[in-house]
Amino acid sequence: MPKAAPDLDLLQRWLAGWSLARGLPLPRRDGGGLIVEVGWPQQLRRHVFLDAGPALQACAARIEQTGIYLKAAVDTDTLRRALPARWTIEQARYLMQRSGPMAGRAAPPAGYTLQTSMEHGAHVVRYVDASGRTAAQGGVVFNAGCAVFDRIETMEGHRRQGLASAVMAALDTKAGDAERLLVATEAGRALYASLGWQVLAPYSTAVLAVG
């Protein structure tokens, strides 16, 4: 199926899942984009835009306080050109989508046990090793017909054994026929692509640096 171009509704579906997984308020429309009041010491608020055009630039011009994040579905070079030098650009990420269930079911390597729980609004799966320590984990949140996959992580010492694929498979069984969205790191993009996910757009972040 051809990938769809992202729009503000799609970004809102992604951001709503991200927020629910952390027990945060749902995003609201603001100034041509979206805003979430995060309220953490290192991240007070995040603004999300489709592009790095006038709406994002006007938002950035009003911000003086540190701990404010700007995000947009553009590459890092585009975001860098749109903002004054006082904004720090973080490493590139990618907005990805899958329209239905993944084919096949990856089994975990021997010696790991699957655990499941609910945390805030997220269904969380963990594979633990023989000592009971978390080796890999991830979550999925359901909202408005969308399954947002979030915080997929394999711990140091347990990588390259197929655990990330096993986590994704375990999460996928919970997602039914819902639209699936996630934001991937550069390292994660290849894994998700191998599981049939498509890149919709780059997803870049700027934060107002201290000083």
| CATH 3.40.630.30 is right for the domain spanning 98-200 | yes
Tell me if the pTM is above 0.85.
yes
AA identity, residue 114: L
3-state secondary structure of 19: helix
Q: Identify the pLDDT of residue 121.
A: 85
Q: Identify the pLDDT of residue 105.
A: 67
* Alpha carbons 185 and 69: distance in angstroms, whole number: 17
Contacts of 9 (CB under 8 A, 6+ apart): none
* Alpha carbons 158 and 105: distance in angstroms, whole number: 19
* Alpha carbons 116 and 139: distance in angstroms, whole number: 10
Q: Which two tokens stand for residue 74?
A: 């553009």
3-state secondary structure of 80: helix
* C-alpha of 125 from chain center: 16
Q: Identify the pLDDT of residue 208.
A: 85
Burial class (CB in 10 A: 0-12, 13-18, 19+), 64: exposed
Contacts of 201 (CB under 8 A, 6+ apart): 5, 6, 73, 74, 94, 95
Mean pLDDT by 10 residues, the chain (211 residues): 75 97 96 97 95 98 94 98 96 95 80 94 95 97 95 95 94 92 96 95 90 50
Extents of the domains making up the chain: 8-94+202-208, 98-200
Q: Identify the pLDDT of residue 103.
A: 78
* Alpha carbons 154 and 122: distance in angstroms, whole number: 18
Distances (CA, A) of 145 to 3, 13, 17, 19, 141: 18, 9, 11, 16, 10
Least Cα distance to 138 among 159, 157, 117 occurs for: 117
* Alpha carbons 207 and 145: distance in angstroms, whole number: 31
* Alpha carbons 56 and 31: distance in angstroms, whole number: 8
Q: Identify the pLDDT of residue 210.
A: 60
